[in-house]
Amino acid sequence: MGPYLPLIVLVVLLLLVIPAIRVCNQYERAVVFRLGRYSRTAGPGLYLLIPYVEWQSRLDMRTLTDQVEQQETITRDNVPIKINAVIWRRVIDPARAVIEVRDVSNTVIQVAVTSLRNVIGRHSLDEVLKDQESISAALQATIDQATEPWGVKVERVEMKNVEIPESMQRAMAQEAEAYREKRARLIKAEAEMEAAELLKQASQIIMESPAGLELRRMQMITEVGAEQNTMTIVMMPSEFVNMAGALANSMTAKSNPPSS
């Protein structure tokens, strides 16, 4: 057995060393425990794990997303709404993420649910619909503060969908329609005011030059006469009518001289 002893020893060493070799990817970390006590955080790359004495828990260090299911909450102005959200979070301290909390993902979601209700309850419905960016930032800060002791960094929170009651939707639609009608009336009134101001200026110019009034009248008659199937009634000044009557009488007298 003497010549085979070194070979036997080598085989035994290999059987002990090979199971102890571990490899972590660049985005992974291994939290190693020795006989139940925290020993170290290993990785990335190659490391050793003593068989039967040490064991590990691997964590993904990349940014992960968690879906917060639709929650029903009440706004500050007592309007019930349904809302869901998405959380982007990342483990920054693997040891605390394993030791301080049992299930990181589920714990973050539960914190997000309670924080979502609290934050929405401090805002009115109009603020929730119009200022979602600031509400998401406040929600992110609240969740991140709660998860910081667990070695988790909440990087971003976004509200995906906000559902409001149908009665409130109809009321908002009526409000929007009334606002559009108001804007239309204001625009029409402003246009009429501008037109009246221009007409006022035009009348002042015409009053300064009566001949300009006659020229404008002749131009209007020409424009109206250009239309087909149009009957035009022209209102002439009384001076023109008297002059035309005198001229007609004079022409009649010349054509019919008195008999002797």
How far is Cα of residue 102 from the mean position of the Cα atoms in its chain?
A: 36
* Blockwise average pLDDT, block size 10, the chain, 260 residues: 70 74 91 93 90 90 91 87 92 93 90 90 86 89 92 91 77 74 85 82 70 64 62 58 62 60
pTM of the model as a whole = 0.62
- Show contacts of 247-251: CB within 8 Å, 24+ apart: none
The predicted structure's pLDDT at residue 260:
47
Q: Which amino acid does the sequence have at 173?
A: A
- Name the 3-class secondary structure at 232: coil
Dihedral sign, Cα of residue 207, residue 208, residue 214, residue 218: negative
CA distance 141 to 124: 20
The predicted structure's pLDDT at residue 237:
58
The angle, 0 to 180 degrees and rounded to 10, between the axes of the packed helices 132-147 and 104-121 is: 140
The predicted structure's pLDDT at residue 202:
72
Q: Which amino acid does the sequence have at 79?
A: V
